[in-house]
Amino acid sequence: MTTDYGKDAILAQKGKLEERRRLAASMTTKPEILYYMAKDGDPDVRKALAANPATPNQADMILAKDPDEGVRASLTQKIAQMMPDLTEKQTTKVRAWAADTLEDMARDQAFRVRHVLADTLKDMTSAPPAVLRQLVRDTDSMVANPVIEFSPVLTDKDLVTVIAEGANTARLKSIARRKTVSEKVSDAIVETGDTEATAELLRNPGAHISEGTLDKIVDQAEDKPELHEPLVARPGLSDKAAKRLAEYVADSLVDTLLARNDLSPEVAEQVRAEVMKRLAAGAGPAAGAVNAEGGDGRGAVGNALEPEPDRLTRDEALELAREMNKKGQLTEGVIYDAIGRKDRNMAMAALAVMSDTKMPAVVKAFATNSAKGIVALVWEAGCSPKLSVDLQQGLGNVAPVEIIRPSSRASYGLSEDEMIWQLDFLRDMG
């Protein structure tokens, strides 16, 4: 009579594919049979074997060099998942073998293997540090960035080293998004001068940024509009930083700044005074400013019309835009002039008139930082795709990653159907 062991041995040698696969996946299969199956000719059988926690280490060592990346990926996931369960009672040799195998897998040529490893280890508190350090240097962002962003094992030294080795923007942003970022790591990010990563850092409530570093960002941010909104919203602004921001951020952001409940009455009053100073100055375009049409900041108006007043109210700006339109003087250059002076009201009024859209609808597009809405309005106004990008960046406060740019398939970055829908949506709201 054939024993169960004998039946399993026969199945391992001559069984059908599904029979062998079930045998390889079973926790009750004898270790010596599992070891024999490490050389099975079908990768599905070897994959089941690689995922089986009962498979002996000797078989796993063979599977670690398997030519099929799916087999290696299954083995990688199994070993990574079992690492936290290895106890002191288990031999040092087993733990060391597991860590060494994972380190080899972190160098595997197949992206799938490295990705499975990174995805499995990224949240583990017991993940081998040497393996993680290998993964954070991976050339593929889908392997490195999740580990960089989420691993609790990485130290400040590890993160600063990644930054010092020339991390790209995506990698820096992953560090800036970590649940907790120390002042040391924040300083290293800011020192790179990467605007997108600095903006991500400012938005992260778990990022610790020293007062000195925050003041430094504020001093350098005047020509970096993507930093204005996160700076205004950032807790812990010094009095100096709040007053400095009031000198250059858009009017809507000054309102946000004044609404902060952590400004002392004295500083709030100083911010208001700075705003009044800006309004009273009424400065026109910077000397020598050139718009997209090659003019002097006033487009087709040229010297035929005095520069419009700076910081008009919305009603005043709309009245002026209508008057200029009647005279044939309302052009794309007028909007570029408004961008140069950070005059949001004039830009919105010009767009409203040129696109035949009610002012409240245009205001809504800018107030909600709607990239699609701004693009649709520029298109309807008959202006250039470049203006849509410049408006999103200059006055729209659209996050850099959300800016809609022209492409080979759509000159404005959106299809005509999408832009028509956006216009209908805005006009219904207006």
- pLDDT tens, per residue, the chain with 430 residues: 345 777 888 888 888 999 999 999 998 888 888 888 988 989 999 999 988 988 888 888 888 888 888 888 888 888 877 766 555 555 444 566 677 788 888 888 888 888 888 888 888 888 888 889 999 999 898 999 999 999 999 999 999 999 999 889 999 999 999 999 999 999 999 999 999 999 999 999 999 999 999 999 999 998 898 999 899 989 888 888 888 888 888 877 877 787 777 777 777 777 777 766 766 654 333 323 333 333 333 333 333 333 334 467 888 889 999 999 898 888 888 888 888 888 888 999 999 999 999 988 888 888 888 889 999 999 999 999 999 998 988 888 888 888 898 888 888 998 898 899 888 888 776 5
**Residues near 285 by beta carbon (within 8 Å), at least 6 away in sequence:** 296, 297, 298, 307, 337, 340, 341
Half-sphere exposure of 28 (CA within 13 A, CB side): 4
- Residue 295 is predicted with a pLDDT of 37
**Maximum pairwise Cα distance, the chain:** 109
Give residue 157's pLDDT: 95
Of residues 321, 296, 313, the one with CA closest to residue 381: 321
Non-local (6+) Cβ contacts of 34 within 8 A are: 24, 49, 52, 54, 55, 56, 59
Q: How far apart are CA 274 and CA 258, in angstroms?
A: 11
C-alpha 275 chain-centroid distance: 32
- Give the pLDDT score at 248: 86
Amino acid code (one letter) for 153:
V
Closest listed residue to residue 30, CA positions, set 10, 14, 16: 10
Which residues are CB-contacts of 115 (< 8 A; sequence separation ≥ 6)? 140, 142, 143
Helix (H, G, I), strand (E, B) or coil at 311: coil
82/65 Cα distance (integer angstroms): 19
Local structure of 207: helix, strand or coil: strand
Q: Please tell me what DSSP assigns to residue 331.
A: -
- C-alpha to C-alpha distances, 201 to 122, 312, 320, 390, nearest whole angstrom: 20, 35, 41, 24
What whole-number distance in Å separates Cα of residue 202 and Cα of residue 200? 5
Q: Which residues contact 168 (CB under 8 A, 6 or more apart)?
A: none
Q: The tokens 């100096």 sit on which residue?
A: 240
Q: DSSP H helical segments within 246-384, as ranges?
A: 251-258, 265-281, 314-326, 332-340, 344-354, 359-367, 371-380
CA atoms within 13 A on the CB side of 75: 35
Residue 184: CB atoms within 10 Å: 13
Instruction: Give dist(CA 234, CA 202) in Å, integer.
Output: 6
Q: Give me 104's structure tokens.
A: 């080899």
CB neighbour list of residue 164: distance below 8 Å, 6 or more residues apart: 188
pLDDT of residue 291: 36
What whole-number distance in Å separates Cα of residue 121 and Cα of residue 135? 10
Closest by CA position to 264, among listed 289, 284, 225, 237: 237
Q: Given this model, what pLDDT does residue 394 score?
A: 83
User: Distance between CA 10 and CA 2 in Å, rounded?
Assistant: 10
> Nearest to residue 312, comparing CAs of 261, 358, 347, 264?
347
Q: What token pair was written down for 233? A: 């919203």
- Please give the Cα distance from 201 to 171 (Å, whole number): 12
